Structure 1
Amino acid sequence: MVTNKQIDKVLQSVRRTISAWEPAVVGRIAEESRDPFRVLISCILSQQTKDHVTGEASERLYRLADRPDTILALTELQITRAIYPVSFYKTKSRTIREVCRVLLTRFGGRVPDTIEALLSLTGVGRKTANLVVTVGYRKPGICVDTHVHRISNRWGYVSTKTPEQTEMALRQRLPKRHWIHYNDLLVPFGQNLCRPISPFCSRCPIERWCAKVGVAAHR
């Protein structure tokens, strides 16, 4: 079981392991653009969508417009065509226009930098809000997606039933120095090695610490 005595070594091992793989797409967009608005919109596009599809859709959209005012000047059809084939592309097209409208009318065109304000935007949940705060503004937060929720529980580091419970448990347990990078580390780790079904435990650098909670079969 992973404990706080081991978490530094565990995350160092994860960092070394993922260095050969593509980073999570929203983290890459944040690193390249340093733009919280692009992070926010790409987060919305990424929901229930594979990373490579999100990345390509984001690039097509940002070639057309990459600010709240210029995106709002596009028609819903133009946005839909740009972001297709992300999941629920028609709904996300409407959501993006509404988010841009609210950013302009309530926030002066600036993406807010607090969880509470971000949660007031249409289509923004705790995962997206935390990701914007952490990778968009480099402020403390813990983004919990399906990989972070699964792996944190699989390690035995937390024992929770939902991603929101995992976030709150991690806020109590995880040293703050790891908050910003936790999601960026665990997403590619979960995509490539610590998979939902039959993870590659024989190749895992932290296998000796992992409690393997819920693992019925592994490779």
Structure 2
Amino acid sequence: MPSPKKVKKLNRAQAEAIFERFHQIEPEPKGELDYINAYTLLVAVVLSAQATDAGVNKATKRLFELAPSPAAMVALGVEQITELVKTIGLYRGKAKNVFALSQILLDQHGGEVPDNREALEALPGVGRKTANVVLNIWFKQPTIAVDTHLFRVGNRTGLAPGKTPLAVELALQKQIPERFMLHAHHWLILHGRYICKARKPECWRCPISEWCLFEPKMPLPRAA
């Protein structure tokens, strides 16, 4: 990720106002990956690295019909998994990781997805971001998964400036009121995906623009 421009940091009251606004707009935000259970969620998140959720959902529809469990995935084998996910970027390596992590879940965890970060991060293809997504969505833990969208929003707005994803994650943990922690991850990612876009942020329709430190704000595009 590129080093962010240095910006001022919002204070705690401003941060609270931002999350209060997010909550008013969408009290129960949801992720956009399709999954059936904890295992398929884990697989979907592993496959989503450097890929769109829509693209992953298209590929996993058939994959999860055939293999909704670690045992079924291992039975498919690497070759068939690879064929099913070949429309996703970096699919060969991801297919190998999905097979390997499925085998480890069978061998070491009774076929169940562990509910702790250390065990999750020990699985092939699972880093801190992936572990945080699974812990947040399935196990309802107040974790924050910093992807490119969240990294951009944290820096651009002044909500949680940081030079690395971990720095942004730790800064957000200090900024976000406890009552908003569970859903903060989704609010920020969806905001970055649909409004605070990388090249052309849509500031004219941003619900938190009054607190955002990004300047100059992008105006409403002229009609063609």
How many residue pairs match? The answer is 210
Alignment match, 1:3: 11
Paired with 1:109 and 1:127, the residues of 2 have a C-alpha distance of 22
Alignment correspondent of 1:100: 102
Task: Quote the residue 1:25 is aligned against.
Answer: 32
State the partner residue of 2:218. 218
- CA RMSD of superposed structures (Å): 2.1
Aligned to 2:52: 50
Query: Following TM superposition, by how much is the alpha carbon of 1:217 offset from its aligned partner in structure 2, in angstroms?
Result: 7.0
Shift of 1:192: 1.2
4+ runs deviating over 6 angstroms: none
Deviation digits for residues 102-152 of structure 1 (CA, Å, limit 9, x no counterpart): 111111111111111111111111110001101011122121111111111
1:172 matched residue in structure 2: 174
CA contact (8 A) 1:14 1:185 kept: yes
Equivalence for 2:5: none
Which consecutive residues of structure 1, in runs of 5 or more, have no partner in the other structure?
A: none
Higher Rg: 2
- Taking the aligned partners of 1:54 and 1:3, their CA distance within structure 2 comes to 37
TM-score, length-scaled by structure 2: 0.85
Following superposition, the deviation at residue 67 of structure 1 comes to 0.4
The secondary structure found in structure 2 opposite 1:140 is coil
The superposition leaves residues 63-98 of structure 1 with CA deviations (integer Å, 9 ceiling, x where unpaired) of 111100110000212111212211111111100000
Q: Aligned residue for 1:190?
A: 192
Does the aligned pair in 1 maintain the 2:16–2:177 contact within 8 Å?
no
Alpha-carbon distance, 1:174 to partner: 2.1
Identity among equivalent positions (%) equals 33
Give the equivalent residue in structure 1 for 2:141. 139
Match of 1:111 in 2: 113
TM norm structure 1: 0.87
Moved more, 94-103 or 153-162: 153-162
Counterpart for residue 68 of structure 1: 70
Distance 1:139 1:124 in 2: 17
In structure 2, the CA distance between the partners of 1:16 and 1:171, relative to structure 1 (3 Å rule), is closer
Matched, 1:80 2:88: no
Q: Of residues 188, 201, 209 in structure 1, which corresponds to 2:211?
A: 209
Kept in 2: contact 1:139–1:180 (CA 8 A): yes
Indicate how the Cα distance of structure 1 residues 18 and 201 shifts in structure 2: closer, same or farther if over 3 A, else same: farther
